[in-house]
Structures are given as structure tokens and as C-alpha cells.
Structure 1
């Protein structure tokens, strides 16, 4: 299948399916490093626990 044919086929899909195609393509270009993802997840869990326990207070972003 040629690229132009592939693009034409994708453009004929419903919006939700086109969004899924775009998401999959972008993810394939920007593959995150699993180690970094795990570290960010740990930071997020720690921050959430700090907020829930009252150790820190949330600050409005405005």
C-alpha cells in the first residue's frame, strides 16, 4: 500500500478511529523510556500522598 493510499484510507475513518490512528502514530514516534515513566509515576504517587495526608497544601495555578 502506498502512503497516499494509506492516508486516504485513514481520512475516510470516523473521527474517533482517526484519533486512535493519530495517537498510535505519535506514540510510535515518541516512545517514552520506561525508567523515566516509572520515576515520574513514583513522584506523582508521593505528591498525591503528601496532599492527602496534609503534609503539603495545594497551591492554585492562577
Structure 2
């Protein structure tokens, strides 16, 4: 069983954190979470969100 140190698991956690931060309008932190998630797992599913935030931030 994979623990939190597993890259894919950490990427999913960062995706969730970024989504929460985005909802709270903390866009810079959300983007940082999305970028870190993408660096761990490029298929984590936030590339478009991260690209959209880059245009706003």
C-alpha cells in the first residue's frame, strides 16, 4: 500500500489542496499547489487549471 510519500498520492493531495485554495480565492497558493502536483504526476488532471491561473495571477 502506498503512503503519503508516494508521488502520485502526494500529487492528488496537492490537487485537492489547490482546488480548496482556488475556491478561497488564494490563487497564488493554488497555482503553487497545482504546479507541484504536476511536477510529481503530469497526469494529475490540473494542467488546464494551472494554465488558466497563470493568466490571472
Q: TM-score, normalising length from structure 2?
A: 0.36
Q: TM-score, normalising length from structure 1?
A: 0.33
Between structure 1 and structure 2, the one with the greater Rg is 1
Higher RCO structure (Cα 8 Å, ≥6 apart): 2
